Amino acid sequence: MTIQAAVDWQGWMQRWDAQQTGYLPDREERFNTMFHVLDTLLPPNFVALDLACGPGSISQRLLARFPQARSVALDFDPVLLTLGQNVLGDMNGRLRWVEADLTQPDWSEKLGETQFDAVLSTTALHWLLAEDLVRVFRTLGALVRPGGVVLNGDHIPFGPHLPAFDKVAQQYNETVQTVAFTERGVENWESWWAALAQEPSMTPLLAERERRFAAFKATERNERNPLSNFYQAALQHAGFTQVGVIWRNMDNQIIMAVR
């Protein structure tokens, strides 16, 4: 427990939000758009699943905005889960943390709930291969109650049939990142993790993270990133009746699926 006392968790959370916002200047707008959907479609006392939650960025904002809601936050990264747990705790019994690997078939058995009104995910599902995404969406089809909603916010490429679109989006993303990381000196993903590794007490958690994600190879995943149509077809196939893009900025989009 000395590890919790030594680390400035709040500071690391702020730095997490800053680096994520460096990649996505409209990150808060994307969160707020998702919350507008929940506000419109769900009763106030809904139960949400924050899928691949990282340190709980969605749950933190969602529970502040919807005082009668509950959230279950799931991730496989022991570092980010520890960060979230230390900053947010259980938010007066309304937030529960679950450690599970979405690529494993038993992930939903660890949730402790069998039905959700909403599933939200941001900047995360691009980590999964297409075959894992299909399996995850099929599970969500069973977990989300009729009338419930899935919202996935992520960078999703336009694809090889739209090379000019991808060129424009990539150019836009490069400009955004140059402004944040070069001109404004914001910490990026690599420097955030490198700085965290300087905290001596983080060594065991970082080693465990390394072990868990050793099988994932980012470059291979990125080359095989599924397209928006694939996400939408997989959600339809999983039983969602209305599926489409509810918000987008270049290749950054929110796919919405109503069960």
Ligand X SMILES: C[S@@+](CC[C@H](N)C(=O)[O-])C[C@H]1O[C@@H](n2cnc3c(N)ncnc32)[C@H](O)[C@@H]1O
Q: How near is the Cβ of 253 to ligand X at its closest, in Å?
A: 14
Nearer to ligand X, 213 or 230 (CB): 213
Q: What value, to the nearest 5°, has the Cα angle with vertex 155 and ends 152 and 161?
A: 115
Helix (H, G, I), strand (E, B) or coil at 89: coil
Nearer to ligand X, 168 or 212 (CB): 212
Q: How near is the Cβ of 146 to ligand X at its closest, in Å?
A: 26
Q: How near is the Cβ of 45 to ligand X at its closest, in Å?
A: 23
Contact 124, 114 (CB under 8 A): no
Burial (Cβ within 10 Å: 0-12, 13-18, ≥19) of residue 16? buried
Q: CA–CA separation, 115 vs 242, rounded Å?
A: 19
Q: CA–CA separation, 134 vs 31, rounded Å?
A: 24
Nearer to ligand X, 77 or 117 (CB): 77
Contact 16, 191 (CB under 8 A): no
Q: How near is the Cβ of 192 to ligand X at its closest, in Å?
A: 10
Closest-by-Cβ residue to ligand X is 54
Strand-strand pairing, 242-249 and 252-258: antiparallel
Nearer to ligand X, 123 or 252 (CB): 123
By CB under 6 A, name the binding residues for ligand X: 20, 52-54, 57-58, 75-77, 80, 101-103, 122-124, 127
Nearer to ligand X, 53 or 257 (CB): 53
Q: How near is the Cβ of 147 to ligand X at its closest, in Å?
A: 24
